[in-house]
Chain A
Amino acid sequence: MKKLQQGIRPWLTKYFALPSDVVLELPRITVIGQLHVYIENHKGLVTYSDTELKLRANNGYIQVTGSAFVLKMMLPEEILLEGTISDIKFLPDG
Chain B
Amino acid sequence: MKYIQESALTGYVTIAVTGEKPELFFQHCTSYGIRVWDVRKTKNDVCEGNIKVSDIKQIKQLRRRTQYKIRFKQRKGYPFFIRKLLGKKELLLGFFLSILLILFLSNILWEVKITGVPKDIEEKINKQLNQYGIHPGTWIFSLESPKEIQQQLLDDVPELLWVGIDQKGTTFYLEGVEKVVVKEEETPGPRNLIASKKGIIKNMYVTKGVPQVHVNDYVEPGDLLVSGNMGVNEEAEREDDEHKQVGYVAADGEIMATTWYEVKVSVPLQANTEQLTGNQEKKFHLGFGDFRVPIWGFGSTEFENTHREISEEPIRFFKWELPVKLIETLVSEKTYDKQKRTKNEAVEAGINQAKEELRLRLGPKARIVSEKVLHESLENGKVKLNLYMTVEENIVETQPLRQGD
Contact = CB atoms under 8 A, between A and B. Distances in A.
Interface stretch (A4-12, A13-21, A26-34, A42-50): A42-50
A73 B33 CA distance: 13
Q: Taking each of B21, B23, B24, B33, which has the highest tally of chain A beta carbons within 10 Å of its own beta carbon? A: B23
Interface string B6-40: 00000000000000010110110111010111111
A74 B40 contact: no
Nearest to B42: A50
Which one of A44, A69, A71, A73 has the highest number of Cβ atoms from chain B below 10 Å of its Cβ? A71
The 8 tightest CB contacts between A and B, nearest first, are A71-B39, A48-B23, A45-B27, A74-B36, A70-B40, A74-B30, A73-B37, A49-B41
B287 interface: no
Contact of B37 (A49, A71, A76): A71
Given A44-B27, A45-B24, A47-B21, A74 B39 contact: yes
A44 B23 CA distance: 11
Given A71-B26, A73-B1, A73-B36, 19 more contacts: A44-B31, A45-B27, A47-B21, A47-B23, A48-B23, A48-B41, A48-B47, A50-B41, A69-B41, A72-B37, A72-B38, A74-B26, A74-B27, A74-B35, A74-B36, A74-B37, A74-B49, A75-B30, A76-B31
A41 B94 CA distance: 54
A48 B39 contact: yes
Nearest to B23: A48
Interface in A57-91: 69-76
Interface string B113-146: 0000000000000000000000000000000000
B45 to A, nearest CB: 11
Interface of B: 1, 21, 23-24, 26-27, 29-31, 33, 35-41, 44, 47, 49
A86 B341 CA distance: 113
A4 B315 CA distance: 80
B37 A50 contact: no
Contacts of B1: 73
Interface residues of A, number: 14
Interface of A: 44-45, 47-50, 69-76
Given A75-B30, A76-B30, A76-B31, A45 B23 contact: yes
Contacts of B41: 48-50, 69
23 contacts: A45-B24, A45-B26, A45-B27, A47-B21, A47-B23, A48-B39, A49-B23, A71-B36, A71-B38, A71-B40, A72-B38, A73-B35, A73-B36, A73-B37, A74-B26, A74-B27, A74-B29, A74-B30, A74-B35, A74-B49, A76-B30, A76-B31, A76-B33
Contacts of A48: 23, 39, 41, 47
Contacts of B35: 73-75
A70 B38 contact: yes
B31 A71 contact: no
A33 B29 CA distance: 29
A72 B36 CA distance: 8
Contacts of B30: 74-76
Contacts of A76: 30-31, 33
B40 A69 contact: yes
Contacts of A72: 37-38
B105 to A, nearest CB: 48
Contacts of B37: 71-74
A49 to B, nearest CB: 5
Nearest to A51: B41
Centre residue among B24, B33, B41 by max chain A CB count within 10 A:
B41
B39 A70 contact: yes
Nearest to B3: A73
A13 B338 CA distance: 105
Nearest to A49: B41
Nearest to B26: A74
Contacts of B31: 44, 76
